[in-house]
Structure 1
Amino acid sequence: MRALACDLGGTNVRFGLGVDGRLDPETVVQFPNERFSDFGTALKHYFGQVRVGRVERAVVALAAPIDGDTICLTNRNWTIARAEIAEIAGTGDVVLINDFVALGAALSRAEALVTRSVLPGAAGRGVKLVLGAGTGFNASALIEGGHVLAAEIGHTGFAPEPGLETALRDHFAGRFGRCSLDRVLSGSGLVALYRVACDRSGRAAALGDAAAVTAEGAAGRDADAVLACGTLSGMLGRTAGDLALTFLPRGGIYLTGGVTGALAPFIQGPDSPFARAFLAKGRMRELMRGFTLDLVMDQSAALVGCLAWPDLPCNTVRGGRAAGPT
């Protein structure tokens, strides 16, 4: 079977083609969403740029809860309609899934992913957990039997530590009425954290986007960027630890997302801000040491998951609709 795979986030969209469930890397293309007025235009552009030909199925992973045939992205003012995808792709077999469900499905082929070790732990069988920060934050778990547990963990509340984190919480709560993990564990959250750090140090904020903050922080050239990157990495580590205690993922924990990857210097190693926060679970510290953590370097992981999803034991595709968690 020839299938179209798509990973649509709040900032970028990736497309690729697969044959019999395997991604062809030569067909993978990424575009910034800001280039297009809507998703349909982006999809048509891909079909025009790559000689797609006929596809029998389209699997589209979206950064949004999946409910029905028309989906609104959480962090971008785009509406995605199953019928429009079917018309452009030329197939009635269109599957819409959450982007972290796709990443959870990709863990069924974890051996094919490009990863970098964060903490060695003791890898074993059992639940596999994936989580990550990008335009927003979310996580999912692949449990034994090939079931992917969908969630909207990013929209749970943020519990800050005193100091800089509390100031960040107050900043977002003042704007939106509450502060969720999705607000803080994200590119916009990192920029806001940097600005809060600058306010507290009495310096003007010289950096305007997450890429600049992570670059200057990793290079050690801006003290407030270093503080912001270290603090957000610690927040991410603490959240990863909370989820590890929730799911007990003895099959491994996988970290993904553009912001997560950019923070790699603050995440890798046993003395990193991320690792210290991950392990700091009091009486459960020794349990935490047993979990294996890897950073996913493969930006096509969600596309791999899109192609793996229909073949998971939990799932049956009928008439373009996916049975099971979405």
Structure 2
Amino acid sequence: MTFLVGDVGGTNTRLALADASGLRSDTLLRAPNDDHASLLDVIARFRDEQDCAGVDAVCIAIAGPVSQGRGRLTNRDWHICAREVAAMVGAARGVLINDLSALCYALPQLSPEPISGTARPDNNRQSLVVGMGTGFNVGLTKPGPAGGITVFEAEMGHAELPASVRDTLSASLGTAAAGFTTVEDVFSGLGLARLHEALCGRALSGPEIMQGYVTGQDREAAATITLFARGLGQLSRALICQYLPGAGMIFAGSTARGILGSPALNAFAEAYLAPGMEVVRPADIPVSVITDDGAALHGCLHHLMQAG
């Protein structure tokens, strides 16, 4: 069987053909969303470049809530229908899932890069995937019966910030901290840009701030990244209490890779591993980062194969 799998984020869309042996890397398309009016436009481009004859099923992961085969991107006004997507390539079946669910389904095929912590032998086998790119969300997963995977969805980016993070922002931003109320307001690519402007009074994009930090040429960028990483450590302490991911907390997304793959990891670890938590100990929760930018595509394929 031949499948079309896709990952639609707030900034980019990735599409590829796949079969039971895995993704066909020679068909991978990475398309900036700004260059297209809708997902159907991206798929039309893909269809023009690849032979989509014989596609049996489609699975698309999107950065937004999904219900009854329909969804909308959280950070872009794109409305997506699984049936319409399938019709574009003549597939009999179309499935729409949340992008964090796709990452959860992909975990068995991935080798995340470890950061800290060691799982207890008697852990509950739950894993929490934390997606931090243009936006923010989480997905909880646990092995199911007969080797399957059970995934629990959330919209954590729209939850209120923990008190510990609010206090940290207030100490650094003063009254400007009132402009940051939800998790995604801070912990996302868009949030990083807003945080920098509030702290330093300069409007830069997330990638520009990261570039200034890693080159060591921008002290203001360093201050923003350090504040962001410290707050992320505090948020992570709250997440492990809320979701009890005994098998590990796994970060994904461009913003997560940028922060945790830089010297800012030290600020994150200091806040995350700070003393004071006894019931759920951060040191007992392994933390890692998914470095595969196409991980959600593997998850879409796994979902189709598991569904049969």
Tell me if both proteins adopt one fold, taking TM over 0.5 as the criterion: yes
Can you list the C-alpha shifts for 1:258-310, whole angstroms capped at 9, x where unaligned?
11111121454xxx111122223613398211211111100111011111113
- Pick the aligned partner of 1:150 from 149, 153, 159: 153
Can you list the C-alpha shifts for 1:153-193, whole angstroms capped at 9, x where unaligned?
11101231232266553234xxxxxx211121111111111
**Matched length:** 296
Q: How big is the shift at 1:13?
A: 0.5
Gaps of 5+ in 1: 173-178, 200-204, 318-326
Aligned residue type for 1:262: G
- Secondary structure of the 1:95 match is strand
| Contact persistence 1:5–1:303 (CA under 8 A) | yes
Q: 2:135: which partner in 1?
A: 136
Q: 1:27: which partner in 2?
A: 27
Q: 1:217: which partner in 2?
A: 213
Aligned residue type for 1:283: M
CA distance in 1, matches of 2:238, 2:185: 18
Q: 1:185: which partner in 2?
A: 187
1:265 maps to 2:246: no
Can you list the C-alpha shifts for 1:38-61, whole angstroms capped at 9, x where unaligned?
110011111212333321110011
CA distance in 2, matches of 1:266, 1:29: 32
| Contact persistence 1:21–1:307 (CA under 8 A) | no
Q: TM-score, normalised by structure 2?
A: 0.89
Q: 1:226: which partner in 2?
A: 222
| Contact persistence 1:279–1:285 (CA under 8 A) | no
1:83 maps to 2:80: no
1:300 maps to 2:294: yes
Correspondence 1:108-257 to 2 at 5 A: 109=108, 112-122=109-119, 124=121, 126-145=125-144, 146-159=149-162, 160-161=166-167, 162-164=170-172, 167=175, 169-172=177-180, 179-199=181-201, 205=202, 208-257=204-253
- Secondary structure of the 1:284 match is coil
- Secondary structure of the 1:299 match is coil
Aligned residue type for 1:183: D
More off after superposition, 225-234 vs 243-252: 243-252
CA distance in 2, matches of 1:114, 1:35: 32
Aligned residue type for 1:44: A
CA distance in 2, matches of 1:168, 1:62: 32
| Contact persistence 2:57–2:93 (CA under 8 A) | yes
Aligned residue type for 1:122: A
Distance 1:247 1:186, change over 3 A: same
Can you list the C-alpha shifts for 1:1-24, whole angstroms capped at 9, x where unaligned?
211110001111111121116222
| Contact persistence 1:118–1:293 (CA under 8 A) | yes
| Contact persistence 2:102–2:300 (CA under 8 A) | yes
1:284 maps to 2:292: no
Q: How big is the shift at 1:196?
A: 1.6
CA distance in 1, matches of 2:280, 2:105: 29
Can you list the C-alpha shifts for 1:207-231, whole angstroms capped at 9, x where unaligned?
6211010111122211111111111
Distance 1:237 1:285, change over 3 A: farther
| Contact persistence 1:250–1:291 (CA under 8 A) | yes
CA distance in 2, matches of 1:246, 1:293: 16
Give the 4+ runs in structure 1 shifted more than 6 A: none
More off after superposition, 245-254 vs 219-228: 245-254
- Secondary structure of the 1:26 match is helix
Q: TM-score, normalised by structure 1?
A: 0.85
